[in-house]
């Protein structure tokens, strides 16, 4: 199939959907997603969205908290514009139908999470992301200019590098003309041409064994952009959420929201000792990098497999009202949070680096924009402040839409784009080659490139990644495309970027911590 659209959106989370709604009246919009339309990292965001809706709060405080959490690596101008503009963008999704919990007095019931100096997290129970995703999709489905293609896997961006062998693979003046997308149900590769493309493909948590991300989070957008010669940065800053439910065998790991600690839950060792004040005066509500490293250290000292999150002193009725999903999940595996502590461990959660963008969400590739977790806007620096990610996605998708609407008028489709060339490929001889390579990759990343790193571990990871890369590239070029084949290719690319950036970072900053620095 060959298809043309004015605006192409890769991904169906908050970044992609909000952009689509803003540009739809200015042209045809096509959203492609490799799974169901509602499957995204947004859907699993429990905590909420941070914004200044509290009379005791201020833009200055939110900015200061973000900068402090980012450990000196945030772009201050970006932080200020996101916090300032974010208030209006939250009001936009409220107008689109999103509901947030309110107090008996009718004001927003704002939560407090790690690194925040005030209560400023808007939430809908512990299903905030699901609420936002559902309401945005309802608006999308009503719009006649928007089409969603589910179960379409974006393989590679189409640039001038695909126009012929004589085109030099330069990193300068690259243009994006669309994507090659694998139709999973029909087993064909479609050529989708677009005037404007927004990469909103989400994160890459599945590069690690234990992650809170859904199984679709394989770094596809970052890897595609990297292969197309876009600028990528700060991939060493992988945020591990400190409190994923310890429940071996569950994939993805179930998240115990940071809002639970904001509600008053306390981290303790197996012996019942509170330990976070030994690491930070903010205790269990210190920023995530500090809490995750503290838990990692305690587990290494004790030899235990998890630490304890104590909720037994909290008011049961209020807890169940605020966290019904978490409460039910704990009960389902035989844990009553008011009789026993919840076992928790850190799990890979969020990529703070990604595709470099400017303040209009433009990447270094012309007509390619990026928003959401796959983008590196300058907001998060070396560590993301809790609940800033949904806010960032709304602000940058809005900014991208303004620029894209103006740009699209002057762009024409490229007519000489070749179709996907599958000559010389055949069905995978042994799927075990892909399956075990993925397990090997996740194991080496978890053991060598985790919360705490060292020079020797990083070098070992780098050396083994080179072998995996060489083996997989040979397999990729002789094999008919499949989701598993392409996802492994992307995970290897992303793992390489994480390791390479970590080896280059010679000082400990935020989420990157090496015992040799």
Half-sphere exposure of 200 (CA within 13 A, CB side): 37
Cα angle, residue 178 at apex, residues 173 and 184 outer, rounded to 5°: 145
Tokens of 304: 């235990």
Q: Where are the alpha helices (DSSP H) in 378-482?
A: 389-407, 432-448, 455-478
d(CA 269, CA 265): 13
Residue 186, classed as helix, strand or coil, is coil
Q: CA 58, CA 39: separation in Å to the nearest integer?
A: 34
Catalytically annotated residue among 22, 89, 288, 464:
288
Catalytic: 288? yes
Host H or E run for residue 86: helix 76-95
- SS3 state at 396: helix
Residues 236 and 451: their CA atoms lie apart, in Å, by 10
Residue found under tokens 């996605």: 393
- DSSP one-letter string for 113-153: -TT-SS--EE-STT-HHHHHHHHHHHHHHH-TTEEEE-SEE
How far is Cα 348 from Cα 182, in angstroms, rounded to an integer?
Answer: 28
Give catalytic residue positions. 288
């Amino acid at each position: 199939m060959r298809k043309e659209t004015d605006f192409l959106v890769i991904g169906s989370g908050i970044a992609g959907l909000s952009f689509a709604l803003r540009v739809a009246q200015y042209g045809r919009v096509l959203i492609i997603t490799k799974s169901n339309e509602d499957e995204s990292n947004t859907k699993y965001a429990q905590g909420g969205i941070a914004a200044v809706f509290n009379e005791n709060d201020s833009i200055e405080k939110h900015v200061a908290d973000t900068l402090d959490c980012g450990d000196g690596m945030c772009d201050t101008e970006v932080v200020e514009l996101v916090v300032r503009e974010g208030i209006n963008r939250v009001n936009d999704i409220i107008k689109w139908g999103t509901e947030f919990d309110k107090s008996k007095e009718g004001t927003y019931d704002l939560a407090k999470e790690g690194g925040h100096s005030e209560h400023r997290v808007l939430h809908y129970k512990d299903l905030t992301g699901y609420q936002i995703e559902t309401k945005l999709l309802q608006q999308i489905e009503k719009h006649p200019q928007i089409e969603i293609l589910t179960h379409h896997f974006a393989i590679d961006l189409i640039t001038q590098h695909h126009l012929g062998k004589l085109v030099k693979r330069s990193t300068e003046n690259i243009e994006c003309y669309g994507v090659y997308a694998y139709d999973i149900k029909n087993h064909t590769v479609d050529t989708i041409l677009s005037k404007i493309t927004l990469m909103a493909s989400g994160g890459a948590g599945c590069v690690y064994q234990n992650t809170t991300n859904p199984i679709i989070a394989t770094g596809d957008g970052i890897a595609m952009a990297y292969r197309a010669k876009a600028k990528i940065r700060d991939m060493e800053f992988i945020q591990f959420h400190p409190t994923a439910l310890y429940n071996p065998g569950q994939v993805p790991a179930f998240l115990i929201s940071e809002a639970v600690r904001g509600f008053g839950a306390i981290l303790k060792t197996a012996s019942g000792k509170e330990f976070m004040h030994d690491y930070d005066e903010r205790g269990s509500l210190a920023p995530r990098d500090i809490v995750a490293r503290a838990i990692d250290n305690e587990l290494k000292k004790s030899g235990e497999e998890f630490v304890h999150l104590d909720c037994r002193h909290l008011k049961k009725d209020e807890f169940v009202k605020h966290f019904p999903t978490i409460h039910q999940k704990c009960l389902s595996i035989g844990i009553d949070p008011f009789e026993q502590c919840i076992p928790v461990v850190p799990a890979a959660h969020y990529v703070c680096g990604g595709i470099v963008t400017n303040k209009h969400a433009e990447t270094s590739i012309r007509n390619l924009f990026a928003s959401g977790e796959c983008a590196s806007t300058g907001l998060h620096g070396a560590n993301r402040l809790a609940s800033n990610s949904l806010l960032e996605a709304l602000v940058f998708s809005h900014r991208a839409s303004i620029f894209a609407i103006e740009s699209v008028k002057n762009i024409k489709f490229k007519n000489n784009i070749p179709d996907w060339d599958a000559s010389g490929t055949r069905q995978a001889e042994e799927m075990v080659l892909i399956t075990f390579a993925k397990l090997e990759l996740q194991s080496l990343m978890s053991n060598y490139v985790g919360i705490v790193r060292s020079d020797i571990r990083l070098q070992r990871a780098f050396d083994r990644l080179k072998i995996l890369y060489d083996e997989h590239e040979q397999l990729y070029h002789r094999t008919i495309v499949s989701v598993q084949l392409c996802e492994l290719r992307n995970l290897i690319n992303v793992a390489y970027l994480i390791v390479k950036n970590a080896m280059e970072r010679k000082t400990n900053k935020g989420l990157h911590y090496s015992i040799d620095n």
